[in-house]
Homo-oligomer: A and B are copies of this chain.
Amino acid sequence: MNEPTVFIVDDDQAVARSLRWLIESVQLKVETFASAQAFLDGYATTKPGCLVLDVRMPGMSGIELQERLTVQRIRVPIIFITGHGDVQMAVRAVQAGAFDFIEKPFNDQDLLDRIQRAISFDSEQRARDSLRARLSALLASLTPREREVLNLVVEGMSNKAVANTLGLSAKTVEVHRAKVMEKMHARSVADLVKMAMQNQET
């Protein structure tokens, strides 16, 4: 599960086989799918790696698959492969977040290089995502009241100001605040502010 996989989606089995052969030659794990739908059904988002995707396929096209993945917030890096140069399609795909877009015939080493870059990108992205997920989990463990207090503390308010804003006694705010610090594993207000900022930036 930890080592990256290159997912190949191509309806042409001969192409898929030769891609598999090429990519396996550099000791990368490969999984092939004969259609976009097969990929949607069979892909486990927890697996790191990247997607090598044919643009034009019967049924769901590669572009449509990209759209579906975007809607589902699945952000596996996509390297499109296309047989015939359509500039508009390529530009739109890249603007929509495609990692790369290359034309056949391509240079084998060039493709391998791009795959390596896509895998690195995915790895960094997963690291960022896992940080954010841990943060969200911490925030989710707060009660509604604690979240309110947290927000006001992050705004720079003192306990007394928070108490006035929420119509509570200063004592109660102290309790909530201490609980927030404990639950968030924060040792200072600075930590809290940093966490809150990181969380809202996506």
Could you tell me which A residues sit within 8 Å of B by CB distance? 82, 85-88, 90-91, 94-95, 100-103, 153-157, 187-191, 193-194, 197
Contacts and interface: CB of A to CB of B under 8 A. Distances in A.
Contacts of A90: 87, 90-91
Contacts of A188: 156-157
Chain copies in complex: 2
A153 B194 CA distance: 13
Contact of A193 (B86, B95, B193): B193
Q: Which of A153, A191, A197 has the most CB of B within 10 A?
A: A197
A100 B100 CA distance: 16
Contact of A85 (B85, B153, B157, B194): B85
A184 to B, nearest CB: 13
Given A85-B85, A194-B197, A187 B102 contact: no
Given A85-B87, A189-B193, A194-B197, 7 more contacts: A82-B87, A87-B103, A91-B101, A94-B94, A156-B188, A189-B190, A193-B193
A154 B85 CA distance: 51
Contacts of A189: 156, 189-190, 193
A190 B94 CA distance: 38
Contacts of A85: 85-87
5 contacts: A82-B87, A94-B94, A156-B190, A156-B191, A193-B197
